[in-house]
Amino acid sequence: MQYGARFAAIQRKKDPLILGIESSCDETSAAVIRGRVLLSNVILSSAAEQAKYGGVVPEIASRAHTDAIDAAVYGALEQAKIRKEELDAVAVTYGAGLLGALLVGLSFAKSFAYALDIPLIAVDHIRGHMAAAYLADPALEPPFITLLASGGHTAILYTKSFTEFSILGSTRDDAAGEAFDKAARVLSLPYPGGPNIERLAREGTPNVTFPKMFKGGGYDFSYSGLKTAVINYCHTREQKGEAYSRADVAASFQCAACDVLVERAVAACKEYGCKVVAAGGGVVANGYLREQLLSACAQNGIRAVLPEKKFCTDNAAMIAAEGLIRYAAGDFADLSVNACAHIPLGKKGKQ
Ligand code: KG4
Ligand code: ZN
């Protein structure tokens, strides 16, 4: 499969119309942007179906994407009030994620790009989460500090330009979202764990002291100790037949998991002389984290750019946003590009 004459003659526009497609996990999503302005975003989720099994079943996710992809893409075009022939590029998540799920979105995007003879842009899902902030504040310009907290990654980054960043610190074991999901299981909360912990935490008081995360590791994180502490706290009480408040445990866990993200993001801004922190990833949908980050930033004269909650969890708008960066750089994919289950965020230091 090869690009044709229209692609060969492409003149890159300043504010291109980009279709974004996301299908890495249990959300089938499509969005259209014009430059940094969002025109539409459709999210069709199989989360309710997955909840019956306590987590994402890859085969169910792939089938759900197959059923939903048409409606998501044509729904996004309709909402944006544009015809597919007007598109300048298609940006799609090629990894990381569930292989079968990724292939649905990627194959669809390839056919679209081929048929319209416009560039295909292969987007790393996690770079998409980082790019959600570019739409949240279309005036946002580097340098700034990025706080990334998702189901698979937790990191503090120095974003020097839209294509260059340095990892100042990342998690040494579990990601923040993973810790939320594991703590939710211990508390017998259904999938998805993060939002359910947040809901339960609202009924509790953060009066259980969990061990503080290590200091001295720079901007690194470690969530496995916190997860073990939650497991030990609950199991010890259950074995002794002692009552405890699940809501208090949820509230205490939430504080312990989020406070350290806020502290390190603010510390990085101070050390690197940045006045802006941009956040992204599913955990940034957490109301407590958002409040704490906004208030700590305000106290320190820092502006926090937080995408709306629906743009923190998986969505295609963020994929289109990262697509825009790659479009501007002329970073187009070959139509033979394959899906990729794992993509490392990169080593510490400059990318
Ligand atoms: O960023 P994301 O889509 O995952 C990856 O791309 O890796 O986010 C999913 C993660 C899950 O671990 C989920 O529990 C967590 O984000 N999450 C939350 C909330 N909403 C989603 N964690 C805490 N509070 C929330 N409200
Ligand atoms: Zn994600």
Q: Are residues 318 and 268 in the same domain?
A: no
Statement to judge: residues 112 and 151 lie in one domain: no
Q: What is the pLDDT of residue 348?
A: 58
Does some domain include residue 160? Answer: yes
Pocket of ligand 1 (CB under 6 A): 125, 129, 150-152, 177-178, 180-181, 192-195, 198, 281-283, 285-286, 313-314
Return the pLDDT at 1: 77
Same domain, 42 and 107: yes
Say how far apart CA 141 and CA 162 lie, in whole Å. 8
- Let me know whether 164 and 212 are in one domain: yes
Task: Pick the atom of ligand 1 nearest to 177's CA.
Answer: 12
Task: Confirm whether 57 is domain-assigned.
Answer: yes
**262 phi and psi angles, rounded to 5 deg:** -65, -50
For 235, half-sphere exposure in the C-beta direction (CA atoms, 13 angstrom radius) is 9
Report how far residue 120's alpha carbon sits from residue 117's, in angstroms, rounded to the nearest whole number: 9
Kindly give the number of the ligand 1 atom that is closest to the alpha carbon of 149. 1
Name the strand (E) or helix (H) holding 145.
Answer: strand 144-149
Q: Closest ligand 1 atom to the C-alpha of 180?
A: 14
Q: Which atom of ligand 1 is nearest to the CA of 181?
A: 14
Would residue 118 count as lying in a domain?
yes
* Residue 112 belongs to domain with CATH number: 3.30.420.40
Q: Indicate whether 81 and 174 sit together in one domain.
A: no
In this prediction the pTM is 0.97
- Domains identified in the chain, total number: 2
Which domain, by its residues, includes 92?
5-130+312-328
To test ligand 1's pocket by mutation, which of 180, 290, 310, 343 has the most ligand atoms within 8 angstroms of CB? 180
88 and 228 belong to one structural domain: no
* pLDDT (0 to 100) of residue 347: 58
Query: Would you state the torsion angle of the CA atoms of residues 151, 154, 158, 163, taken in this order, to the nearest 10 degrees?
Result: -30
Question: Does residue 261 sit in the same domain as residue 243?
Answer: yes
Residue nearest to atom 4 of ligand 1 (CA): 151
Domain co-membership, 173 together with 219:
yes
Q: Select from 182, 288, 311, 313 the residue to mutate for testing ligand 1; criterion: most ligand atoms less than 8 Å from CB.
A: 313
Which residues have C-beta under 5 Å from ligand 2, the single-atom ion?
A: 314
Q: How far apart are CA 135 and CA 128, in angstroms?
A: 11
Residue 341 included in any domain: no
> 351 in a domain, yes or no?
no
Q: Do 149 and 172 fall into the same domain?
A: yes
Ligand 2: centre distance to CA 109 (Å):
19
Q: Quick one: pLDDT at residue 51?
A: 87
Residue ranges in the chain modelled with pLDDT below 50: 350-351
Residue of the CA atom closest to atom 10 of ligand 1: 151
Nearest to 66 by CA among 93, 90, 32, 102: 102
Mutate to test the pocket of ligand 1, among 29, 93, 150, 315 (most ligand atoms within 8 A of CB): 150
Nearest 5°: the CA angle 73, 278, 331 is 50
Q: Mark whether 245 and 109 lie in a shared domain.
A: no
pLDDT in the model for residue 213:
85
pLDDT of the residue at 350: 46
- How many angstroms separate the alpha carbon of residue 239 from the centre of ligand 2? 37
